[in-house]
Each structure stands twice: as structure tokens, then as C-alpha cells.
Amino acid sequence: MLTGYTSRMKAPRTSARDASIGIVAVLRAAGHVAYFSGGCVRDALLELEPKDYDIATDAPPQRVLELFPRSRAVGEAFGVVRVQCAGHWVEVATFRMEWGYYDGRRPGEVQFSDAKHDACRRDFTINGMFSDPDSGGNDRIIDFVGGRADLDAGLIRAIGDPEQRFSEDALRLLRAVRFAAHLDFEIEPHTATSVRANAPSISRISRERIGMEIEAMLIGPRPAKAAIMMRDFGLDEIVFDKPLDEQPCTLLGQLDCAATYANRLDAWVSQRRPTLGVDRLQRSLCLPNAVADDVRALRRLTARAADFLTLKVAARKRLVADRLWDQVVLQWRAGVIEHSYCDSIEWEASHLRGDGIGVNPLPLISGDDLIAMGLAPGPNFRRWLDGVYDAQLEGAVTTRDQAMAWIRCCSGGSD
């Protein structure tokens, strides 16, 4: 018998869904209407695990703050409060109507309302449903906008007049593409016509928000479908403010799912406009420096494919040791080079890793050693250290003493 074992066990962590049901229960006990809303309802109907849960209620934000002391107002003018429950943060929003959009994104006027009006202000029918949650999982769906029928039909349809929806918030143009690609849905014809007609209005949206939508598209399950739709609707030319080539997105479609955002972005752009510079890409999408640097590095590595097998051993090892090597191989495999040639490169890379030296051994000497030898720091330091490390990679230098002798020879014998 395991004495005391039970007392040391941690209680199972409350799920995000159960925590959210608890919040709904508190609101209802206080006399308010409260439902799950938006994406979590959509995902549950598709038998997908919701990334998070949102709650819509008739309780005004101040009332929500009173009922939940562990909460914070994050958009009180819009009736949005974040509530902490059982280790989860859940967004609770008051039913509202919006109008007077003044910058292609944000409403000038907000009025708290009821569930039906709240549903009708949302973007697409599949995101406009509510559910009355049940702890047993038998949620009752409240659908004022025909979202369930469109979900069953695999359609992305704007709620009400698509021209009005897109004039209110131009980011919805990109969201239509993202949802269609992610769910493998089609955009309803009237909505699609409006997406194409309103494409230029994307220029009113902040580059940061555009970049976030593009990243979500490309790291999703169907990045090639998103890229094709961006092209067909004329959205990508607006995003990059450049005419693009009429090229298929075959490279992006063939990339392995292990490809990073930087890799997918480069694969997409390299076919739509090969000459589009990384600086332009970074400005257009507000890319973090780390992502932009990875795109630059991938382009540099990809360009070495043609002559890889003719490079010196040290140069080949440096490429194989690069942290992005596996990513560039994925791009080669997707169609940048012939598979048979890629097989040869990968065989050679495997051989180099197992030659007894490796592709990334610790250097035998450092800059401190050069200073101890009496050499003055300067531009030659990097050249000498790179040279002796290449000799180490190729097996010509195998000990510290040999490395120091190599340096003495290259530096003219000074010590």
C-alpha cells in the first residue's frame, strides 16, 4: 500500500472549457445572459479543439469587474474584460452594436445591446454563432446569421452586406482568405466579389496587423491555398505595393510541414516576385528582425545548392553546420533542385558529419590565444581564425600546437 500517495497527488488542472463554463454560471446566477461566442463555437462544431474561449454577455463591463475580482478591463469602451478563472484567462465581452468606422478598422460609436445585434456586427457567419454551454458537452447553438448552414456547406460568407462589412474593417479581407485556407472552405461568390473589389483598402491597415494575418495564413495547414487566393483576389500586390509575377505557388505547396514561417514566406515570395528584397518584405509585413534575418540566410544558403558538391570540405561543413541547414534542405526538396541532386547533397552531408571531425567541432584556439602569442588585435584576427578553423575542419590541423604553428606561419612568424 502506498501510504500518503493520494495526498501528494496534484488535482487535475481545470480545462479552459470548464473554467469558461464556470464564468458563464456566475454571470447567470447574477441574473445575466451569457454564451460562448465566436471561434470557440465554430471550432467545437467542427470537432476541433478551440484555442481559447470567448464569452458574450448582457452584463456591462463594470458588472463583470464586480463579479470577478481577478479580472482586468482591456477594452472597456468596447465592453471587453479579461477574467481569470482556474488558471485560465477568458475574454468576456458585453453584447454590442458598432458604427461610424473611421479608419478602416475601428468603430467611432459603440452601444451595448443584445445577442442578435452583437451577432450581426461580426465578420462572417461561421464566426457569428453563440452556444449555451452544457457541462456534458451538449451545447445549444444560438444562430441568428445562418452560420451553421454555411459551416456545413464549407462557405465563408460575410454577415449581411459584404461591402459594409469590409468597409467597416478592411482586415476582414485577409481574414476571409485565412479562414478559407485554414478550414479548406470556399468564399461565397457575393463575398468573394466584394473581397476582390475592396482589395485596395488593405493599404489603410497597419503593417503589423497585415503581417500577423499573413503569418497565420502561412503557418496554417494550407499555406499554398492561402497564397493562391491572395493572388487571385489581387491582395498580395496591395500588401507588397508591387506588381507580382503570374506564377503558381508550387514551391510553397510542396514544402514539408516542418518548414518555419521564414521558410514558407521565402518560398511564397520567391515565386511571386523573385527580386523582392528582404528590406521591402520586412517593411510590408512589419517582420521581426529575427524572421527577416532568417529569410536572408535562407536565400544565401539556397543559392549554394548549384555548387555545393564542388566546394572545399571546410565550406561544405560550414554550410551543413548552419542552424538553418535543415530548413534549406526542405526548400530544396520542395522543388528548388532535382531530388537526385538533393539526395547526393544529403549523402555528402551525412558523410561529413561522421568523418571523425564533424561539421561543428570546438575551435582549437581563440582570439585570446592569438593575443597571448603577442599578436595585436585587428582585421587579420578574423581571417586567421577562420583559416585555421577551415584547416581544422579539413583535418590538416588536429591539435592546439598545430593550430598555433599554423597561425605563426600565416602571421609571418611573430610571437
Residue 63: alpha-carbon gap to chain centroid? 36
- Does residue 383 contact residue 411 with C-beta atoms inside 8 Å? no
Sequence-ordered list of residues with C-beta below 8 angstroms from that of 281, at least 6 positions apart, any chain: 240, 265, 269, 287, 292, 295
Q: Which of 120-124, 169-173, 375-379 has the lowest mean pLDDT?
A: 375-379
Q: Is the per-residue pLDDT at 116 higher than 60?
A: yes
Reported as a pLDDT band with limits 50, 70 and 90, residue 243 is: confident
Sequence-ordered list of residues with C-beta below 8 angstroms from that of 174, at least 6 positions apart, any chain: 202, 210, 213, 214, 217, 235
List the grid coordinates of 91.
Answer: 475574454
Q: Is the per-residue pLDDT at 412 higher than 80?
A: no
Percent of the chain's residues with pLDDT above 70: 94
**Helices of type H across 70-160:** 115-120, 147-153
Q: Rounded to two decimals, what is the model's pTM?
A: 0.86
- What pLDDT sits at residue 103? 65
- Enumerate domains of the chain plus CATH numbers: 14-153 (3.30.460.10), 158-302 (1.10.3090.10), 306-353 (no CATH), 367-410 (no CATH)
Q: What are residue 37's phi and psi, to 5 degrees? A: -140, 155
- What pLDDT sits at residue 104? 61
The mean pLDDT value for 356-381 works out to 92
- What pLDDT sits at residue 126? 98
Q: Is the per-residue pLDDT at 265 higher than 60?
A: yes
- How many other C-beta atoms lie within 10 A of the C-beta of residue 127? 19
The mean pLDDT value for 30-44 works out to 96
Residue 292: alpha-carbon gap to chain centroid? 14
- Does residue 295 contact residue 262 with C-beta atoms inside 8 Å? yes
Digit-coded pLDDT (tens) for 289-335: 999 999 999 999 988 877 899 999 999 999 999 999 999 999 998 88
The mean pLDDT value for 122-134 works out to 95
Taking the C-alpha atoms of residue 178 and residue 180, their distance in angstroms, rounded to an integer, is 5
The mean pLDDT value for 249-277 works out to 90
- Higher-confidence position of 150 and 51: 150
